[in-house]
Amino acid sequence: MDDILEMLQSNARISIKDLGKLTGKSEKQVEKSIKDYEKKGVIVKYKTVINRDKIKGDNGVIALIEVKVMPQKDVGFDLVAERIYKFPEVKSCFLLSGTYDLLLIVEGEDIQTVANFVSEKLAPLNSVRGTATHFMLKKYKEDGVILEKKDKDKRLAITY
């Protein structure tokens, strides 16, 4: 992967000036590369990783839902996946190998909201053959970022 992409992936707020210094390219070259990546769809979005556990009153629920589907003739999984990922509750959708075909990341206000999504919107789709829902209890790391760094234990080790 290009140096510029790697640096932007780890820190989307890095300045063009700093990118130029780190890559040995001029600011104009860096700016042109970024604009080209955006135009080609290589850079799709700039994202901030948020530790939601630190936000008081944010009681939203995140679920990982495995979905077994029947692929459609001539289009495979793509048409089914497109129909599913267009639901506003679906934040991410991935094609998998293994027992299940799709993995969804779904967000809702509470467990009941996610349950209603599965039972009223997802499961009734003709192509859906089965689901398995897993509720996220705690995030330790997201997008390569450790969300809560532990303080080193300041106690002295006991030796005999």
Residue with tokens 């909201």: 113
Query: Residues near 18 by Cβ (< 8 Å), separated by ≥ 6?
Result: none
How far apart are the C-alpha atoms of 157 and 135, rounded to whole Å? 38
What pLDDT sits at residue 158?
Answer: 77
The full set of domains in the chain, from first to last, is 3-40 (no CATH), 54-137 (3.30.70.920)
**3-class state of residue 148 by DSSP:** coil
**3-class state of residue 108 by DSSP:** strand
72-85: average pLDDT:
92
Residue 87 has pLDDT above 90, yes or no: yes
Global pTM value: 0.79
Rg (alpha carbons) of the chain, rounded to whole number: 21
Query: Residues near 97 by Cβ (< 8 Å), separated by ≥ 6?
Result: none
Residue 154 has pLDDT above 70, yes or no: no
Percent of the chain with pLDDT over 70: 97
Q: Give the chain's mean pLDDT.
A: 91
On the CB side of 116, CA atoms within 13 Å amount to 9
- Cα–Cα distances in Å, from 47 out to 29, 50, 59, 94, 145? 23, 9, 21, 19, 12
How far apart are the C-alpha atoms of 63 and 46, rounded to whole Å? 23
